[in-house]
Amino acid sequence: MILVKNMTKLYKNGQNEVAALKEVDLHVKEGEFVAIMGPSGSGKSTLMNIIGCLDKPSAGEYFLDGKPISQLDSRRLAYVRNKKIGFIFQNINLLPRINSLRNVEIPMIYAGVLPNERRKKAMEALESVGLGDRWYHKPNELSGGQKQRVAIARALVNSPGIILADEPTGNLDSKSGAEIMEIFANLHRAGTTIILVTHEKKVARYAQKVVTFLDGRKVEEISSELL
């Protein structure tokens, strides 16, 4: 369960301050699938980073499973990022020098999964995103869409309860985009909580709820059927 209360995020840029988030409230129930929409610069990624425990709000509070995140020390935050949340970055963020398998293994390394099992799970995860034949390719040997899918496999591999996906279909054609969305739909069916940022209505329709942002404010929260 994710609960964001009256959250503001300010960025100081020299003298002037930019408010990337303004008094945002958001409630995502366990197992819920939420899409976030809004124009560029409206604060979507900023919110995702805070929910993903990568960034801290300037004001307001964020509760995860009823506990305030501001109370956690760096060790517990690392645990949450590792076990509870699977994060798919807008700019993918694969490690450039190692192959797909090793990239997908990283979250399991920090989870203490043993090497043999790790390798097996990483292979399965890559297969599930349709990259069973790209295990030993390094990121610069993959297409944009393939990289995106490695990033998805990496986010799924520790079976987290929450998936945060920041434009996961941004680099994909509609066919592979649909394939990826099937993966999210299946995860949703299996009970995973999903928050997904997108610009496409077609993608947002996979979600139950669509939240729209404008200039750092939440301006709309509707059922996806109304889209």
Partner 1 sequence: MNFFESIVIAWESIVANKMRSLLTMLGIIIGVSSVITVSALGQGGRSAINKEMDSFGANRFGIYYNYNPDNPITDADAFTLQDVAVIKDISPVVEDIAPINWDKVNIQSRGKEIGVQIVATTADYVRIANLKLDAGRFFSHEDDNAKKHVAIISESLSKELFNSSVAIGKKIMVGNRPFKVIGLLGREESVFSMGQDSKLMYIPISTYFSFSGSNWINNIEGKAVSQTEVDKAIDHSLSILHRRHRNKDKYQAWNSQKEMDSVNRVTGIVALVISAIAGISLLVGGIGIMNIMLVSVTERTREIGIRKALGARESDIMMQFLIESLVLSFFGGTIGMFLGFGVSKIIAGLIKMPTVVSWQMIALAFTFSAGVGVCFGLYPARKAAYQDPIEALRYE
Interface residues with ligand ATP (CB under 6 A) are: 11, 13, 18, 20, 38, 40-46, 90
Angle CA 176–174–92, to nearest 5: 60
Nearer to ligand ATP, 14 or 66 (CB): 14
Integer angstrom CA distances of residue 32 from 109, 185, 188, 196 = 28, 11, 7, 11
Beta-bridged to residue 179, according to DSSP, are none
For residue 22, the minimal CB distance to ligand ATP (Å) is: 11
Is residue 204 helix, strand or coil?
A: helix
Burial-class residue 175 by CB neighbours within 10 Å (0-12, 13-18, 19+): exposed
By CB under 8 A, residue 42 contacts partner 1:
no
Which residues, numbered 75-114, are part of the site for Mg ion (CB under 5 A)? 90
For residue 155, the minimal CB distance to ligand ATP (Å) is: 18
Which residues, numbered 154-183, are part of the site for partner 1 (CB under 8 A)? 154, 158
Rounded distance, CA 150 to CA 158, Å? 14
Chain residues that interact with Mg ion, rule: CB under 5 A: 45, 90
Chain residues that interact with partner 1, rule: CB under 8 A: 49, 52, 54-55, 74-75, 78-79, 81-83, 87, 89, 93-95, 97-98, 102, 106-107, 109-112, 154, 158
